[in-house]
């Protein structure tokens, strides 16, 4: 009897010892809940930061967001309200460019110009903000609206001809832009200068959007000089550049532009004063409209063999370059 009882006791207690590890696995389930809660809180915080435009930033960088939408770069700054106005200005320029570009491309095709850097026809938002902030810093009391009103290169283009064709090309292209209703608001011809930048920088106001845009008229040599001096000019314009460094940078730019030859007659080129005809729409195609299919005309030629500004062939401005 004793042996039987001891056997029963052993067989009875064995299940108890084997079931304890099974029951002992349940407590870790309770330790997972805080982790889940922390992960949920982190995800919620990340989603909230994204919704507020904060993004995932290190703790040390969060102080930069305390301006609530302002802009800072290269020692320059705009507050949130001014920054918002510049952003709206950029958006308007982008919309206006859609109707300006076909005209410029058409003028380039008719005048046999190379349209240089067309992919960069829109000035970047940071570049515009630098320009506005610099103007406001250099002229205390100037408002952001006044500064934006003086910007004419938010939309910009460059037309380029060889030296021998430069003067006639500029005359033709500028006359066409005027004929299509663009008002000439600025004409800076620096070919006559002994030192410094050499080219023609012109500004125009589009008839539909009233957007100001810039057209630079270059030769291959003057454009190369502009590109070579660009970084020097940008450094020269920074507010923290010492005066002696400013003078040094200007001297370097002068030396580069001094090597640029002046095209024949370039220094005498002026802006078109009047449109080509009382009703230019009857004689010139509208570059913002597709030409009628299968309708071609041979343009009249001037003594130099270039198309006459008063008449032009049908063209497809979209595929003109």
Residue 254 token pair: 């002068």
| pLDDT score at 240 | 87
Strand partners, 301: 307
Q: What is the pLDDT of residues 38-58, one digit of tens each?
A: 344 444 433 333 333 333 333
Cα gap 35→27, rounded to integer Å? 14
Q: How confident is the model at residue 67 (pLDDT cuts 50, 70, 90)?
A: low
Task: Tell me what the mean pLDDT of segment 26-32 comes to.
Answer: 46
245 or 33, which is more confident: 245
Cα gap 196→9, rounded to integer Å? 108
| pLDDT score at 69 | 84
Given a cut of 80, whether residue 66 has pLDDT beyond it is no
Burial of 301 (0-12, 13-18, 19+ CB in 10 A): exposed
Q: How confident is the model at residue 280 (pLDDT cuts 50, 70, 90)?
A: very low
Contact 200, 187 (CB under 8 A): yes
Cα gap 104→123, rounded to integer Å? 16
* Backbone dihedral angles phi then psi of residue 108, each to the nearest 5 degrees: -65, -40
| pLDDT score at 237 | 82
Q: What is the pLDDT of residues 198-212, one digit of tens each?
A: 999 999 999 999 999
Residue 116 token pair: 């240089």
Strand partners, 204: 184, 213
Q: How far is CA 68 from CA 63, 84, 91, 128, 136, in A?
A: 10, 11, 20, 20, 20
| pLDDT score at 196 | 92
* Backbone dihedral angles phi then psi of residue 158, each to the nearest 5 degrees: -130, 125
Query: CA angle, 125 as apex, 48 and 177 as ends, to 5°?
Result: 145
Q: What is the pLDDT of residues 136-147, one digit of tens each?
A: 998 999 999 999
Tabulate helix, strand, coil % of the chain (nearest 5): 55, 10, 35
Contact 114, 161 (CB under 8 A): yes
Total length of the chain: 321
272 closest CA partner among 211, 183, 192: 183
- Quote the pTM value: 0.65
Strands 156-160 and 212-218: parallel
Across the chain, what does the average pLDDT equal?
76
| pLDDT score at 239 | 80
Q: What is the pLDDT of residues 293-308, one digit of tens each?
A: 444 434 443 434 444 4
């Amino acid at each position: 009897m004793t042996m039987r009882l001891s056997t029963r006791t052993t067989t009875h207690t064995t299940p108890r010892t084997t079931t304890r590890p099974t029951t002992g696995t349940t407590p870790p389930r309770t330790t997972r809940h805080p982790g889940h809660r922390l992960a949920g809180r982190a995800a919620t915080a990340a989603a909230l930061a994204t919704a507020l435009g904060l993004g995932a930033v290190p703790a040390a960088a969060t102080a930069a967001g305390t301006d609530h939408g302002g802009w800072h770069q290269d020692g320059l700054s705009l507050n949130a309200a001014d920054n918002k106005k510049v952003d709206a200005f950029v958006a308007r320029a982008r919309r206006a460019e859609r109707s300006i570009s076909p005209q410029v491309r058409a003028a380039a095709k008719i005048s046999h110009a190379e349209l240089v850097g067309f992919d960069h026809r829109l000035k970047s938002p940071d570049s515009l903000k630098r320009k506005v902030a610099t103007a406001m810093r250099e002229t205390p009391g100037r408002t952001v609206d006044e500064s934006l009103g003086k910007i004419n290169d938010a939309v910009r283009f460059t037309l380029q001809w060889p030296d021998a064709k430069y003067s006639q090309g500029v005359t033709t292209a500028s006359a066409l832009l005027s004929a299509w209703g663009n008002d000439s608001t600025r004409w800076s011809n620096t070919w006559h200068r002994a030192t410094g930048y050499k080219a023609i920088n012109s500004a125009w106001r589009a008839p539909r959007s009233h957007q100001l845009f810039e057209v630079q008229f270059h030769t291959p040599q003057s454009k190369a000089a502009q590109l070579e001096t660009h970084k020097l000019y940008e450094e020269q314009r920074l507010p923290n550049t010492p005066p002696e460094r400013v003078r040094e940078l200007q001297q370097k730019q002068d030396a580069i532009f001094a090597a640029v030859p002046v095209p024949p007659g370039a220094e005498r080129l002026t802006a078109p004063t009047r449109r080509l005809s009382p009703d230019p729409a009857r004689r010139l195609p509208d570059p913002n409209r597709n030409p009628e299919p299968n309708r071609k005309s041979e343009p009249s030629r001037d003594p130099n063999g270039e198309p006459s500004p008063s008449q032009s062939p049908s063209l497809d401005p979209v595929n003109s370059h």
